[in-house]
C-alpha cells in the first residue's frame, strides 16, 4: 500500500489538507498527518484545531511515497522556515518520491529553499514572481518528474485526484471515484 505524509504547520489551509487526505484515503492510500510543531495539535488558517497522527520529529526518518504540502499564508511560511521540513523534503526528493505542494507551498517552501531545481510548477497568485529556481506554468496542476504542484484551493480536487492517480499508477480507479463523487476529472 502506498503511504503519504501530509505536513501540517500552524496556519495550514485546512481545505487543501482535508480534501487531499479524504481523496487519498478513499482510494486506499495510507495517509499520515504530521504536525510540524512541538505537539500533534495544530491550528489551521481559519482557527480550526486539528490533531495530527504524529509530529514530523517522530517520523523524520520515515520514507513515504509522497509528501503533500498544503498552503495557507502562514502555513506555508511556517513550513518554509523549518529546517526539519526542508531536510524531510530533500531526503524524499533525493529518493525520487513525489513532492506535492499546493497553493503557496510551491513558491514559499520549495522555491524559497532552492528545492524546485529548475522544475516546472504552479502556485497561487503572483508568488511565482519571487521564485528564481523553477519555471512557473499557469495551470490547475503541473507535473514535472516527481513534482506534482496544484494552483490552489479552488482546484484541490484536481490536485488530489492527480496525486492519487500517480501514486496508484492507474487512472481508472481514480476516474471511477471522481465519477462517484460527481466530479469531472
* CA-based R_g, the chain, Å: 15
Residue 181 burial (CB count, 10 A): 12
Local structure of residue 140 (DSSP, 8 states)? S
CA 174/CA 81 separation, integer angstroms: 34
Active-site annotation holds for 36: no
Catalytically annotated residue among 36, 100, 103, 123: 103
Cβ within 8 Å of residue 59, ≥6 positions away: 5, 32, 34
Beta-bridged to residue 149, according to DSSP, are 142
List b or e across 63-74, with b for residues whose CB sees 16 or more CB atoms inside 10 angstroms. Answer: ebbbbbbbbbeb
Provide the pairing of β-strand 30-35 with 141-144: unpaired
Which residues in 38-122 belong to E strands, given as ranges?
41-43, 49-51, 54-55, 66-69, 98-101, 120-121
Which residues have a catalytic role annotated?
103
Amino acid at each position: 500500500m502506498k503511504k503519504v505524509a501530509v505536513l501540517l504547520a500552524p496556519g495550514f489551509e485546512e481545505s487543501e489538507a482535508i480534501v487531499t487526505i479524504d481523496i487519498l484515503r478513499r482510494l486506499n492510500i495510507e495517509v499520515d498527518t504530521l504536525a510540524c510543531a512541538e505537539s500533534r495539535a495544530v491550528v489551521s488558517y481559519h482557527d480550526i484545531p486539528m490533531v495530527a497522527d504524529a509530529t514530523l520529529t517522530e517520523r523524520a526518518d520515515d520514507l513515504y511515497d509522497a509528501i503533500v504540502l498544503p498552503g495557507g499564508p502562514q502555513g506555508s511560511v511556517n513550513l518554509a522556515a523549518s529546517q526539519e521540513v526542508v531536510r524531510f523534503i530533500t531526503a524524499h526528493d533525493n529518493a525520487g518520491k513525489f513532492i506535492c505542494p499546493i497553493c503557496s507551498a510551491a513558491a514559499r517552501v520549495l522555491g524559497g529553499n532552492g528545492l524546485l531545481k529548475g522544475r516546472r510548477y504552479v502556485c497561487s497568485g503572483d508568488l511565482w514572481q519571487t521564485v528564481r529556481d523553477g519555471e512557473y506554468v499557469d495551470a490547475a496542476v503541473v507535473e514535472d518528474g516527481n513534482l506534482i504542484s496544484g494552483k490552489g484551493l479552488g482546484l484541490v480536487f484536481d490536485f488530489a485526484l492527480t496525486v492519487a492517480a500517480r501514486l496508484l499508477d492507474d487512472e481508472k480507479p481514480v476516474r471511477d471515484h471522481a465519477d462517484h463523487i460527481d466530479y469531472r476529472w
